[in-house]
Structure 1
Amino acid sequence: MLSDIIKSGWRKQKTTDSLPEVFSSIHVPKNAGFWRKLLAFVGPGLMIAVGYMDPGNWATDIAGGAQFGYTLLSVILISNIFAMILQHLSLKLGIVAERDLAQACRDHFNPTTNFILWILCEIAIAACDLAEVIGSAIALNLLFGIPLTWGVVITIVDVFIILFLQAKGFRILESIVAGLIFVILICFGYEIFLSKPEILPIVSSLLPQKEIVTNPSMLYIAIGILGATVMPHNLYLHSSIVQTRNYDRTPEGKKEAIKFATIDSTSSLFVAFFINAAILIVAAATFHTTGNKDVADIHDAYKMLTPILGTTFASVFFAIALLASGQNSTLTGTLAGQIVMEGFLNIRLKPWIRRLITRLIAVIPALLVTMLYGEKGTTQLLVLSQVILSMQLGFAVVPLIMFTDSKAKMGEFANKLWLKIIVWIIAGIIILLNGFLLVEEIF
């Protein structure tokens, strides 16, 4: 047995499957055509894409569009390209090593390192949950006039809704996520139609502009967009949920699974790019062009859409999209929390206990801030949650690259030299920018 572990390149043998209740539960047709097989793999990519359009991203996109027009579209595009490459590594680790990133860390690092990584990851998930709680509470406040404090309390109900949905099967969960993403797409398609943006400036802004680096204010928001786009919990989540597919656990089967899972992931992240770009485009076309460059948060954007665009539906659709975004992020955050705890510690709590603990960690600070400081406080808390997420990112990206670079662990699927160079450059850029963002936030 020891020789088998050494041969596999891992220090410990795998003890359990990731998300065992749904592991290999979704049928993949054996002798079907390309489209039928692709359809079997579609789903995990959409669940990952949710993390790239959560309420935490909205503030930076709104501020970037209002202050600088379409200029920062290139930053959103670059962020998404980084995300596509890192999510490819994540799905590859899950398919080839048959471990999620948390299990891979447990089977490679010593107990002390694992404990530290687990604590950091739990902090990141709590920060992400905080953004979801605040985003949902703001949306409920905007749509129904529910006070922010009660909106925060109502989000605890999500715990039981999610548990009910999980019990119905993983495909149901994926379908609900896809449906909510479609709602967000419809809402922002309508917003773009109303705001009538200029096409040529949008296209030209997809190429990086020199002023992004030379203008300190623009650089700060660009770093905020780039630094907070890749979510650390997504790397753990993706490496797990790709294993829900019942593909052949052979070299050929894994190669095919990587191909289809990468198509699913990359195309889903294009949808996330469109939604993030749409938020910035609407802010640029609505606020920047009318001289309202000081719009910097979700509340301001909601209040000003109706008078500028001349229809109440503009604000309503904006709030509906925000609520859908918050609920979607809650679904995937729940799963990520389960994967991290089970993967790092090999501890299996009852799902409702695990979820309730995570949600209360987010609800208590959100509740205190809304009671003491109101909407201004929640906006600042939303920004703080993104800074916390940025700080944790390197602790997920570096182990992921280490494992997928290793020929001992990945065999023929280890990263090629060109990919190794690219991913270490991406990791360096993300860590440096997040470090810069952190220093700026503190001082």
Structure 2
Amino acid sequence: MNQNNNNNAWRKERSSNSLQEVFASVNIPKDGSFKKKLMAYMGPGLLVAVGYMDPGNWATDIAGGAQFGYTLLSVILISNLFAIVLQYLSVKLGVVAERDLAQACKDHFHPVVNFILWIFCEIAIAACDLAEVIGSAIALNLLFGIPLSVGVVITVIDVFLILFLQSRGFRYIESIVGGLIFIIFASFLYEIVLSKPEILPMLEGLIPKKEIVTNPSMLYIAIGILGATVMPHNLYLHSSIVQTRNYPRTTEGKKEALKFAGLDSSFSLMLAFFINAAILIISAATFHTTGNKDVADINDAYMLLTPLLGTTLASIFFGIALLASGQNSTLTGTLAGQIVMEGFLNIRLKPWVRRLITRLIAIVPALIISIKYGERGTADLLVFSQVILSMQLSFAVVPLVMFTGSKAKMGEFVNKPWLKIVAYIISAIIIVLNLYLLKETIFP
């Protein structure tokens, strides 16, 4: 195969990884109703949506709501629309080419390029795991008074949780994730009811305003929200786990799979939109309107919720949602790490070895910072993890848009002209804004 030809077709044989081989057990009813087929395809979208509501998103949403009220709701909405398009392209790559994004890159690029892409992706997964470690440790500290350093160490236990869940099957994992998402959803629904946001200003916040671009402080947080929303490892993950469905590998079967998997993805990401929007709305209604505009991290928000809303349940539900968010993201980060290592390098490690390596990489800096700098240090580290993710995002988005826009690779499923244009625009916006975010982080 000529790896330097951008229009070359895939190899004829289907690629698969150990995850798909173990979990390709969800059968699609051949003559089932629309509802039965949709339920059979539901699940992968929920696992992907978890990455859009992980602890790393909380800080930007809280700061945005506290400082600028409901104004940045439009940024969350636009970011979510970007995510829906990109995750649909990821689904299309998995269904049509029967490859995950890592395998597709390995097919197409030179080995040196693939090695660089793999390194970047591993760094992003480690950064994501870092956010999960910190988020879970903060939640344990807030709910049970466990010191941050001890909470960081406790997060190693989830290695064994992952092993247990993987032994039960993919549907079991999807059910656990769905249950945790419901806990997060219910917690924030309760918080919104307590905070009593103003309906009209909230709806107006969904409409983009010029000041988002003209106000440097607002623009910085807006870019942070965008940069923390689309997770690069999710593009690798989704293109793989969508193949765990036993749909017919025919043209008609792939068309049906695209339709139902696309619905699953879009619905799940709208849940993620609600949760991200809810964090900002609660922050705006509780902190911005009371003059507490300096609230910028999770600890501040937790401590102020009870006195401002008049009930300790407000803080408890906030902490429970944070803990559920951290555990959920742990699951998907593990699966994504397994996929990229096998896809790029064809190295198959035992799940517990892979998980332990990734978690230890995340624990070491989190433990050092929590011991030396405490709460403020871990909050800064959480933000830094999102900057790392932003840096890696372009290296996942560009190949995905390129592959799904290639007639030679996708055949009749190639992106339509309008979708190509939308995908290129989204890619350009992400690249430019993330470069700006990186510049402002390094040279503020």
- TM-score > 0.5, shorter chain as reference: yes
Change (3 A) 1:350 1:85: same
CA shift at 1:255, angstroms?
0.3
Map of 2:442 onto structure 1: 442
Q: In 2, distance between residues paired with 1:400 and 1:382?
A: 27
Identical residues among aligned pairs (%): 77
Q: Does the CA contact (< 8 Å) of 1:58 and 1:279 recur in 2?
A: yes
CA shift at 1:86, angstroms?
0.1
SS at match of 1:180: helix
Q: In 2, distance between residues paired with 1:160 and 1:380?
A: 29
Change (3 A) 1:102 1:292: same
Map of 1:55 onto structure 2: 55
CA shift at 1:27, angstroms?
0.7
Please give the per-residue CA displacement for 1:131-187, whole angstroms capped at 9, x wherever unaligned. 000000000000000000000000000011111011100000000000000000110
Please give the per-residue CA displacement for 1:327-355, whole angstroms capped at 9, x wherever unaligned. 00000000000000011000101110001
Q: Does the CA contact (< 8 Å) of 1:14 and 1:107 recur in 2?
A: no
CA shift at 1:13, angstroms?
5.0
Q: In 2, distance between residues paired with 1:163 and 1:96?
A: 30
State how many pairs are aligned.
441
Map of 2:356 onto structure 1: 356
Map of 1:135 onto structure 2: 135
Q: Does the CA contact (< 8 Å) of 1:18 and 1:99 recur in 2?
A: no
Map of 2:268 onto structure 1: 268
Structure 1 residue 185 corresponds to structure 2 residue 180: no
Q: In 1, distance between residues paired with 2:62 and 2:17?
A: 41
Change (3 A) 1:18 1:423: farther
SS at match of 2:224: helix
Report the residue type matching 1:378 in the other structure: T
Structure 1 residue 342 corresponds to structure 2 residue 342: yes
Map of 1:110 onto structure 2: 110
Structure 1: any 5+ residue segments left out of the alignment? none
CA shift at 1:21, angstroms?
3.1
Q: Does the CA contact (< 8 Å) of 1:24 and 1:247 recur in 2?
A: no
SS at match of 2:295: coil
Please give the per-residue CA displacement for 1:300-348, whole angstroms capped at 9, x wherever unaligned. 0000000011100000000000000000000000000000001100010
Report the residue type matching 1:425 in the other structure: I
Map of 2:247 onto structure 1: 247
Q: Does the CA contact (< 8 Å) of 1:18 and 1:343 recur in 2?
A: no
SS at match of 2:153: helix
Map of 1:327 onto structure 2: 327
Report the residue type matching 1:123 in the other structure: I
Change (3 A) 1:427 1:7: closer
Structure 1 residue 229 corresponds to structure 2 residue 229: yes
Structure 1 residue 35 corresponds to structure 2 residue 35: yes
Q: In 1, distance between residues paired with 2:35 and 2:153?
A: 44
Q: In 2, distance between residues paired with 1:65 and 1:358?
A: 33
CA shift at 1:14, angstroms?
4.6
Q: In 2, distance between residues paired with 1:376 and 1:190?
A: 28
Calculate the TM-score normalised by the size of structure 2.
0.97
CA shift at 1:11, angstroms?
5.8
CA shift at 1:214, angstroms?
1.3
Change (3 A) 1:73 1:143: same
Q: Does the CA contact (< 8 Å) of 1:12 and 1:108 recur in 2?
A: no
Q: Does the CA contact (< 8 Å) of 1:100 and 1:236 recur in 2?
A: yes
Q: In 2, distance between residues paired with 1:405 and 1:35?
A: 31
Q: In 2, distance between residues paired with 1:184 and 1:190?
A: 10
Structure 1 residue 424 corresponds to structure 2 residue 424: yes
Q: In 2, distance between residues paired with 1:320 and 1:24?
A: 33
